[in-house]
Structure 1
């Protein structure tokens, strides 16, 4: 994105959960204030309009016999229709589908180089290595506080991957700094 930068965070929790999130910053795309442009822009200054737009990212998370892997895929300032249509899509993992988009898609959005619609083809996923394509997006309505730079607070989005019956019990109890009490121990002595 020409005028946007992103802060990417992956947080690994002792419980086995993973949080993926991103925050947008940078400077807003702006134009001189005129009435006809106010449908798609918001006034940010006395004579200045900021462009209303969407920030989105498509994540590729997959599960194989060796565990969960997470790839962060390209952010999109102006989202491609199909990849943002679904918050979650699950497909078979294929080496021929390394990403859901291409930087070249912006050159011809009507005939994209990589078309995510081709990935969703009603194939069976039973007994296969799976890919979860997760879309995280938010609408950015520029305001005066976005000048000179957009703050990251409030301009972010993400999701959690939480284990479900993956562990026999809460894995955080095995952390080096944890304290575990048996039924017959006096907790007040610690």
Structure 2
């Protein structure tokens, strides 16, 4: 029993450490223009800690924007349109404009389906982002899944619409050399 408690405390500390690390990455990342080398990051998702991270990040961003006198645009759960569709950002390393495109594409595709077709939704998001922002976008959709992915800076979004979870991320593509 005592050993279980130690293990749980260690796991909790590890989740906190990862949350702080991801939060610091989000603070300083931007999508790289095509043609420039992109840095890669590993991303492990766990629903509870990602939700806490999102709320923390959202508060920091709003505070920073207020200090700079900029308009606060988060495209997440505080946006009435997103609340109406139960869109919740779980974790993001992506500019708000791209996030909103992902939300819109996901909502439109889901609305056109009589019942959830995860593959079709994933394909729709992947095609939209590949055609708009270049190749190597990947999308995972489901009601329950685990993942550990490597993504390019500024190219990661994990969100949900109702009980459907969507992971959208980009990886760097390098030409083959013979």
TM-score band, normalised by shorter chain? under 0.3
TM-score by length of 2: 0.25
Q: Which structure shows the higher strand fraction? A: 1
Q: Which structure shows the higher helix fraction? A: 2
TM-score by length of 1: 0.24
Determine which structure has more spread, i.e. the larger CA radius of gyration: 1
